[in-house]
Structure 1
Amino acid sequence: MVLECVCPWDGNLSMVSWTKVPDKNPVAIFHPEYGVAFSHHYRERIEFLRSTPMDGSISMSNVTHRDIGLYRCSVQTFPRGPWTLSVQVEDLDENPEEEEEEEEDDDDDDDTTEPSSPEVTVADVELLAEQNNNLTISCNHKHQGTVYQALLERMPLGQPWGIIGVCKKVEGGLVGEDYSDRGQVDCADSLDVDLRLTGVVPDDGGFYRCTFNTDAGVRTTTVRLSVVTPGTKTRIMP
């Protein structure tokens, strides 16, 4: 199944993001420099077609009834700014039970696949938090240029990156999309992003990455959070 999303004007495409509404669940993101990122449910099922420089269309495989719904494509461009399109996926006229069986078979096949090499991540900032304390992880854009979109991702230790928040300007307004199951993602008018964690737990530890899409290029900051029990004397090695 192909969901078409081709920006109608010429320019430089700097980012494409797909979400599923009304819950604004993340689907996929394409960035010319940093590649692609997919939410867990769509990983290995979506491919960006990129048939033209301004093409943000995606191809979705192994489609089931759970994929029915309204999808929103947001294309960030320079110099004209963002462009959005909504795509409705109708009834697939297929048997959900057969689809679930096919998915289970696919999962069995995945078990025989050798795991890929782990991604090497280097942190720009190290944070240390005591368990049960409150913590704010801030992503502040300190470079020149106009910010069109800010993306916040989290990578728990030993797991892949996942999108937990998006802040973007659409048609002159500020839109914040919070996908975090821990804490709250806040967006400022400047598109600075804060993740507020209440009662930090060990599972909050890991890497957090902020990506700012601007008219001057893309800027990223990676933060590593370590959580310790109260009273523990810990020194984070560089």
Structure 2
Amino acid sequence: MDHLTLLLAILYVYTAPCEEIFWDTTVKLAKNMTLECVYPLADTVTQMEWFKIKMERESMAIFNPAFHGIIREAYTDRVYFSNHTMASNDMTLSFHNASEADVGFYSCLLHTFPHGTWEKVIQVV
């Protein structure tokens, strides 16, 4: 292995865990809290997904207009979509009985037509 390849491999290993997360909104942890995700344009939302961002993204909930929404098993007793009709591009997620384990970063990722993907990142502190 030449020196350049070795250097690039070392840099990759050390930069991956140090990557910063940039967020759009901060929410204070509360027993009952809401993570707002409202798409600002009039596009058609084809699918959306909520993630908790850890070392990797952990899927929490997913919604597709044709198949409706599901909450992943780890969150079914504590998380729900606030907008029951899923109208107006509002994919807001609410927690009840939130705890210190819920502190961290969350991503609301929407796939839209015709503009493609849109993401909002929220930090819970």
The interval holding the TM-score normalised by the smaller chain is 0.7 to 0.9
Of 97, 110, 117, 1:212 maps to 110
Deviation at 1:192, TM superposition (A): 2.3
Deviation at 1:217, TM superposition (A): 1.9
Deviation at 1:180, TM superposition (A): 5.3
Q: What is aligned with 1:221?
A: 120
Aligned length: 106
Considering fraction of residues, name the structure with more helix. Answer: 2
Q: What is aligned with 1:149?
A: 47
Of 52, 55, 69, 1:176 maps to 69
Alignment root-mean-square deviation, CA: 2.2
- Once residues 115 and 123 of structure 1 are traced to their aligned partners in structure 2, the CA distance between those partners, rounded to angstroms, is 22
Write out aligned runs for 1:70-109 (5 A): none
| Contact persistence 2:50–2:106 (CA under 8 A) | yes
One-letter amino acid of the counterpart of residue 167, structure 1: F
Q: What is aligned with 2:24?
A: 124
1:160 counterpart = 2:70: no
| Contact persistence 2:80–2:95 (CA under 8 A) | no
Of 193, 202, 207, 2:91 maps to 193
Secondary structure of 1:185 counterpart: strand
| Contact persistence 1:149–1:191 (CA under 8 A) | no
Write out aligned runs for 1:54-69 (5 A): none
**Which of the pair has more CA radius of gyration?**
1
- Once residues 49 and 62 of structure 2 are traced to their aligned partners in structure 1, the CA distance between those partners, rounded to angstroms, is 5
Secondary structure of 2:46 counterpart: strand
Q: Unaligned regions of 5+ residues in structure 1, if any?
A: 1-113, 227-238
| Contact persistence 2:106–2:123 (CA under 8 A) | yes
Instruction: Please give the TM-score of this superposition, normalised by the length of structure 1.
Output: 0.40
Q: Unaligned regions of 5+ residues in structure 2, if any?
A: 1-12
Deviation at 1:115, TM superposition (A): 7.9
| Contact persistence 1:127–1:224 (CA under 8 A) | yes
Q: Deviation above 2 Å: which 4+ runs of structure 1?
A: 189-192
State the Cα deviation string for residues 62-88 of structure 1 (Å, max 9, x = none). xxxxxxxxxxxxxxxxxxxxxxxxxxx
